[in-house]
Structure 1
Amino acid sequence: MSNLIQKLKSKIDALLFWQTPIGEILNKIYDLRLFYKYSFKKEKFKSKNSHKAYLTKQYHIIEKGMALPNPRLGFGVAKIETLIKLSKSYLAQFPEDELTLAIKSCLKEYILFNKTNNVDITTPFYKNIENFIHGTDYSKNTGGVRNVSKLDLAKKTNIDYASFAKSRFSIRDFDKSDLKISQIIKAVDIAKHAPSVCNRQSWKANIYTEKKQILNLLKIQGGNNGFTESINKLIIVTTDTKSFTIMESNQVYIDGGIFSMSLILALHSLEIGACCLNTCFPFTKEKKVKSIGEIPENERLIMMIGIGNLKDNYKVAISSKKKIEEIIKIS
């Protein structure tokens, strides 16, 4: 009995330690250590993922430029020259893929945009672009810009979104039936259209289906007491630090949070019950989650989402919201 009491005391002491300023500082040090270990610096890549993130960042700048109300003719010369140079470096190491095809598609449209506006495209700069994109199959236009009709958009958004959004609650009482993986994948496919910094899409949705593994992960999370056994599947949302660069350590969590909310709403649209479970725990627990969940060190935990099929009738917390006057500030 004395050994049990001692172990319990040690756990309580450890928990209290992580709630002290020193514990908070150690967590921040771990956070920054991982960020600087895996994030990339300009034109210096530690991995394929970092190289892809940089190229995505660069070509998206060109896309954004062409999407402006009045794009400046011949804009982005230095950025495009760097994009081509580093794209060639990427292709020297890896085969042609969707990213490089999107880059070439974007550059093709860039030339067309300038040509249409009577820019001289016989200069060495434009010849360099043409040489780079020559021989590419453009049957799929995956980079550049496209026109959107306001009328067409109105048809697609003709829903009562206010009622939809306000009908979402965290579910802690799921049906016992098995949730189909195909439905979860469908929700992720919807959620991936969430915005991200320079379209880098750094997020991952780790889906767990084995009950024992789910229970072990939920035990570490610790905030699911009373409905643990009810959870049918578990998603852990993470973001890849290899996709970020200097001054973007906070963006790891911003992008991950945006995707998480997009996923929650996508699950709701498919009538899948979901409960957000925070990952606000010490890095020692994060390491355990990564070990059990087979998550690489370079990925940071954003949240766990317990999911399952809905019962015909179920109870939810009222979760009263603040008055709008407490939220908005008009300047």
Structure 2
Amino acid sequence: MLKATLKKLIPGSVWMRLQRIKATHKLAGYSRTQNTRFLKFSANPWNKPNQEELRGQIIYYIHRIEKGLTHGSDFRPGFGQNALQSLHDLLNQWHKAHYPTTDTTYQAAFSIVMAYIEKHQQEHQPLPEFLNALFPVQELEKTEANNTIAGVKTITTREKRHNQDKNFKELFEGRTSIRQFAKEPVDLSTVNQAIELSMKTPSVCNRQSYRVTLVSNPDLIGRILTVQGGWRGYAYPPVLAIITSDVRSFIYMEEHNEPYVDGGIFTMSFLLSLEYEGLAACPLNLMCSDANAAKIRKLASIPDYEVLITCVAIGHFQNQTLVPKSFRYSGSSITRIIR
């Protein structure tokens, strides 16, 4: 009753100003909570590493090395010294903490080193000196690590010919991120069909805030990905989709993270829809500084009321493409059941 009375007494413009001040304080509180949690628990040097933090860092370096192994004719022998050094240091921390060597993450770390050695042998290239200093081959041979967990695998166009006839399980399990594309141009009408199918994506109160900007200009794609910074060592894709979420769709301060949730769900739908349409794709992070985000906005004419979610590189499958194995944990390992 007091609120209703005050609202009648206070001029409308003043009331709106007070509401904005209240919302600003609310958002600041939410941000403080999120920032504190991230600073307290993320895998950063000021936090004493636990097993989960070590897992996250180890997987990060495994995947960096896997991507380097996917190169064929442009393979760079002896790459990845920094990543392998970091992997070595993290495994030492794992040993000091007496974490189990049967853990999938630990096994995958040795598996990627073995894959690194195998790739050099296949390319008839000598192993770099630093590798033997970090992971002596004779010691690797003594480990009981499963050497099939990490590394690379081959994807062929033959596997993708009948994607539209596959059931959901087959389509989902067969999808993988592709970073090397055929030179064949992409028909944007096929991408638009994938977007149309993706519109079935659920969103909060059906507000459908997701937006897609398609870029097919090669020069512009190159400039955007140079700012994005995560597409190194590969030819630029024929098409780049930038997924954003329109903040104007949301009302309450408690919804401040919802643009990212809805945009993330849409991105997965889009990736599966592209797979269904027989197109290869790879999602790319947009974890940019404010300065780089502003550059991408300007290059792609993205308005300020849309938040950046991710980029998706799109093209046609090559006849054969090497891709990271990108091992997965079992579903049971990430599941908590409360009865």
TM-score (norm 1): 0.52
Q: Quick one: distance in 2 between partners of 1:262 and 1:324?
A: 20
Partner of 2:209: 202
Q: 2:331 aligns with which of 319, 324, 328?
A: 324
Alignment of 1:221-240 (within 5 A): 221-227=228-234, 229-240=235-246
Q: How far has the Cα of 1:293 moved from its partner?
A: 0.5
Q: How many Å apart are 1:312 and its aligned residue? A: 1.8
Specify the SS of the correspondent of 1:237. strand
State the distance in 2 between where 1:161 and 1:307 align: 21
Structure 1 unaligned regions, length at least 5: 1-27, 33-156
Per-residue deviation at 1:281? 1.4
SS of 1:262 mapped into structure 2: helix
The answer as to 2:287 corresponding to 1:290 is: no
SS in 1 for 2:180: coil
Is 1:315 matched up with 2:322?
yes
Q: Does 1:244 pair with 2:250?
A: yes
Which deviations, in whole Å up to 9, do the C-alpha atoms of 1:298-328 show, x marking residues without a partner? 1000000011011122111100001222111
State the partner residue of 2:95: none
1:209, distance to aligned residue in structure 2 (A): 0.9
Residue from 169, 173, 190 that aligns with 1:162: 169
Q: Which amino acid aligns with 1:236?
A: I
- What is the alpha-carbon distance in structure 2 between the residues aligned to residue 175 and residue 190 of structure 1? 24
Please say if residues 176 and 230 of structure 1, whose CA atoms lie closer than 8 Å, have aligned partners that are also in contact.
no
Q: TM-score scaled to structure 2, two decimals?
A: 0.50
Deviation of the 1:158 alpha carbon? 9.7
Q: Which 4+ residue blocks in structure 1 deviate beyond 4 angstroms?
A: none
- On the 8 A contact 2:215/2:239 being kept in 1, the answer is yes
Residue aligning to 2:307: 300
Deviations 1:43-74 (A, max 9, x none): xxxxxxxxxxxxxxxxxxxxxxxxxxxxxxxx
Give the alignment of 1:25-36 within 5 angstroms: none
**3-state DSSP class of the match of 2:320?**
coil
Q: In the alignment, which residue of structure 1 is the partner of 2:183?
A: 176
Contact 2:185–2:238 (CA<8 Å) still a contact in 1?
A: yes
SS in 2 for 1:310: coil
* Cα pair distance change 1:316/1:248, threshold 3 Å: same
**Runs (5+) with no aligned partner, structure 2:** 1-26, 32-163
Letter in 2 for 1:328: T
Paired residue total? 178
Paired with 1:158 and 1:314, the residues of 2 have a C-alpha distance of: 22
Mark the CA change 1:201 to 1:216 in structure 2 (over 3 Å): closer, same or farther: same
Distance 1:160 1:220 in 2: 38
Measured in 2, the distance between the counterparts of 1:271 and 1:309 equals 8
Distance 1:270 1:207 in 2: 16
Q: For residue 195 of structure 1, what is the amino acid of its counterpart?
A: P
Tell me, in whole angstroms, the C-alpha distance in 2 between the residues paired with 1:214 and 1:320: 30
Does 2:230 match 1:190?
no
Distance in 2, matches of 1:293 and 1:201, equals 21
Cα distance in 1 for partners of 2:259, 2:226 equals: 25
Q: Which residue of 2 aligns with 1:111?
A: none
Shift of 1:159: 5.3
Instruction: Please state if 1:259 is matched with 2:266.
Output: yes
Contact 1:175 1:230 in 2 (8 A): no
Cα distance in structure 1, aligned partners of 2:221 and 2:236 = 11
CA RMSD of aligned residues (A): 2.0
